[in-house]
Amino acid sequence: MKNSNSLDYPGTGAAVLRTKPGRHHFDRTTVKVARTLDDLQKVFALRAAVFLAEQNCPYDEEYDGNDLAGLHLLGFIDDEPVATLRLRWFSAIGKIERVCILPRARGRFLDRILLAHAFEIAAIKGYRLMIGQIQARLWRLWSKVLICKLREDRPSFSFSGYEYLEIDIPVPLHPSTITPYSDPYILIRPEGAWHRPGVLESAITSNNPVGKAA
């Protein structure tokens, strides 16, 4: 069930997908930004089930020291967490990492739905390029999911027993990109919820009037 923390339909982010799931698929899936310790525990549990148990990834390689520096998305079906990914931000690029879906939830377009939300967030932040480091054996799959390009000038590399390739993913310009001139309240709202009044705005009283955020 959708709640106030759910991300809205990612109209700009969905443009990066080669084949967009129907709107009803988005409506049946709740996607949120991980904001609490409980959310992070869900993220770690999902990744343990997929990467540690299924792919036999070493613990220290999976939990690599970047989790508290990244932004995590969680996907839910019927209030159960079933998918996650991680985003990290650099000067001119964003990076998509740790995309995983529980086996019982695969085949429901969750990969596309999560990625569309990830690109929506990147676009609002002003990023025009995302990169991914994908298992080489999955390049054909990714090329069918995303409008992306293999970075053929970059050599492959390996860790955890898998060969990896790098891909470039262009991101469309978002009509509501955040800039230095955006409303100050927008700049202090929670990640991914820039269009909703935040807790600081709700604390404003009639005795302390200030400008209203757009």
pLDDT of residue 160: 79
pLDDT for residue 2: 61
Question: Considering the entire predicted model, what is its pTM?
Answer: 0.91
What's the pLDDT at 211?
A: 53
- Within 8 A by CB and 6+ apart from 145, the residues are 17, 18, 19, 111, 112, 115
In a domain, 203, yes or no: no
Q: What is the pLDDT of residue 162?
A: 87
Interior CA angle at 24 toward 21 and 29, to 5°? 85
CA torsion through residues 196, 200, 205, 207, sign: negative
* Domain that includes residue 92, residue range: 13-194
The owner of tokens 């390739």 is 165
What local confidence, expressed as pLDDT, does residue 209 receive?
Answer: 56
Question: Does 208 reside within a domain?
Answer: no
Please indicate, yes or no, if residue 205 is contained in any of the structural domains. no
Give, for all 214 residues of the chain, the pLDDT tens digit. 566 679 999 999 999 999 999 999 999 999 999 999 999 999 999 999 999 999 898 999 999 999 999 999 999 999 999 999 999 999 999 999 999 999 999 999 999 999 999 999 999 999 999 999 999 999 999 999 999 999 999 999 998 788 999 999 999 999 999 999 999 999 999 999 998 988 888 776 444 655 555 4
Residue 142 falls inside a structural domain = yes
Identify the pLDDT of residue 206: 44
Classify residue 187: in a domain, yes or no: yes
Per the structure, how many domains does the chain have? 1
Residue 153 falls within a domain, yes or no? Answer: yes
Domain with residue 188: its CATH number is 3.40.630.30
- For residue 211, being part of any structural domain is answered with no
Instruction: Residue 7: count other Cβ atoms within 10 Å of its Cβ.
Output: 21
Residue 210 lies in a domain: no
